[in-house]
Amino acid sequence: MNVYDEVNSLCKALKESREFSMMKEARVKLAGDKTAEPLVKDFLQKKQELEIAQYSGKTPDKVEMEKVQKLYEVLQLNPVAAEYLQTYIRFQMMVGDISKSIGDTIKEAVEG
């Protein structure tokens, strides 16, 4: 078995997945909504910054967390933004599950 061939197969499967297709369609719709698109990008950037702070052991700023939560609530009122965020979250969950499986295999190899 060639690991690189398997990676290519995994990438192909990701691109053929329902989650990928749904996110791609939602991204096209979002690009057509000039009001929602910058808000979604801002939300995702702020959310990522909070997550990075948490992963690095820092306590996220409460005010920033509240801002992100309020922005999320506002975005849920826009059907295009809400659809994109839902598909984005589903896709990220799938990728996270795959990453965990790979990480578990690496851990097994390293730790025995």
Domain parsing of the chain, residue ranges: 18-111
Pick the CATH number of 18-111 from 1.10.3470, 1.10.10, 1.20.120, 1.20.1500: 1.20.1500
Q: How does pLDDT run along the chain (112 residues), one tens digit per residue?
A: 799 999 999 999 999 999 999 999 999 999 999 999 999 999 999 999 999 988 888 888 889 899 999 999 999 999 999 999 999 999 999 999 999 999 999 999 898 7
Determine the Cα–Cα distance for residues 67 and 63; give it in Å rounded to an integer.
6
- What is the value of pTM for the model shown? 0.86
